[in-house]
Structure 1
Amino acid sequence: MFFVRTATEGDLEKVRRLLCETWHATYDAIYGAVKVEQITSQWHSPAALKARLERRDGEFLVADDGRQIGGMAFAAMAPNMAKTAMLHQLYVHPSFQRQGIGRDLFAELETCFPDAEVMRLEVEPQNSGAIAFYTAHGFVEVDRIDNCGGEANGIPVLVMEKPLV
């Protein structure tokens, strides 16, 4: 059984491995293993994860069973969008998907931003599993953009939002 808790610095290497494995399982067929490796080495580096952990306006969670990390989530208040929490990451290791870990991580995140009225996220248009998960949890598509995270990377995303009030 996995329990959701706030991540610590001691979790970061396990989280990094989880993200790399999950990204390869999800995105190799879309982008190819080389591009996924490039993305994960940048976005999921120890320094990038530590910066998220240290954000005062964010919440970094893990699902932990005492032996391993089965999932992780990170959200933070959007700096340029009033009353909006941005869900940056919600990943469950492929061997633990469809067991309620994502639901539990998301349920905890929803309670972490009392001033937020909206939660927003970006998702790869070909990631039908994630889109189905977010739709089932009340998100709706509000936009499409050509570059994930606002970077000129050519990675298209759907922008989805959910009211929190």
Structure 2
Amino acid sequence: MFFVRTASERDLEKVRALLVETWHATYDTFYGVEKVNELTGRWHSLPALKARLERKDAEFLVADDGRSIGGMGYASMSDTQTKTAVLHQLYVLPKLQGQGIGRDIFAELETCFPDAERMRVEVEPQNLHALAFYRAHGFSEVGQVSNCGDEQSGIPALILEKPLA
């Protein structure tokens, strides 16, 4: 059984491995191995993960069963939009998907930003599993971007939002 808890620096190697595995399983067919290697190298490096862990207006969670990390989530308050929390990452190892780990991480992240009125996430349009997950959890489409994550990514995304209670 996995328990959701705040990530620590000792988790970062396992989180990086989870992200690399999950990204290859999800995005290789869309973008190819080389592009996924480039993005995971930039976005999921240990220094990048450590910077997220240290951010003050953010929450970095892992799902831990005492032996392994099965999922992770990272969200922060928006730098550009008031009263908006941004869900940057929510990933579960492919072999563990469908067991409620993502749901449990997401449920915890929803409660971490008491001043937020909405949560926003960017989702690759071809990632039908992620789109179904977010729609089932109350998100709806509000826009699109052509460079998800950073201005050089070349990855299009749908912008989804959900009102927070």
TM superposition score normalised by structure 1: 0.99
- Distance (whole Å) between structure 1 residues aligned to residue 131 and residue 73 of structure 2: 16
The answer for the alignment partner of 1:49 in structure 2 is 49
Query: Which range moved further: 64-73 or 148-157?
Result: 148-157
Deviation for aligned residue 1:153: 2.5
- Distance (whole Å) between structure 1 residues aligned to residue 151 and residue 66 of structure 2: 37
SS in 1 for 2:149: helix
- Distance (whole Å) between structure 1 residues aligned to residue 149 and residue 9 of structure 2: 24
- Distance (whole Å) between structure 1 residues aligned to residue 150 and residue 31 of structure 2: 18
4+ aligned runs moved over 4 Å, structure 1: none
Deviation for aligned residue 1:47: 0.3
The answer for the alignment partner of 2:95 in structure 1 is 95
- Distance (whole Å) between structure 2 residues aligned to residue 155 and residue 29 of structure 1: 13
- Distance (whole Å) between structure 1 residues aligned to residue 150 and residue 101 of structure 2: 28
Q: How does 1:15-164 map to 2 (within 5 A)?
A: 15-164=15-164
Work out whether residues 39 and 153 of structure 2, in 8 Å CA contact, stay in contact via their aligned partners in 1: no
One-letter code aligned to 2:38: Q
SS in 1 for 2:35: helix
Work out whether residues 77 and 83 of structure 2, in 8 Å CA contact, stay in contact via their aligned partners in 1: yes
Measured on the aligned residues, the alpha-carbon RMSD in Å equals 0.6
**Number of residues paired by the alignment?**
165
- Distance (whole Å) between structure 1 residues aligned to residue 153 and residue 27 of structure 2: 15
- Distance (whole Å) between structure 2 residues aligned to residue 37 and residue 118 of structure 1: 32
One-letter code aligned to 2:106: F
- Distance (whole Å) between structure 2 residues aligned to residue 88 and residue 147 of structure 1: 14
Deviations 1:103-122 (A, max 9, x none): 00000000000000000010
Deviations 1:41-76 (A, max 9, x none): 000000000000000000000000000000000000
One-letter code aligned to 1:31: Y
Runs of 5+ consecutive residues of structure 1 not aligned to the other structure: none
- Distance (whole Å) between structure 2 residues aligned to residue 66 and residue 150 of structure 1: 34
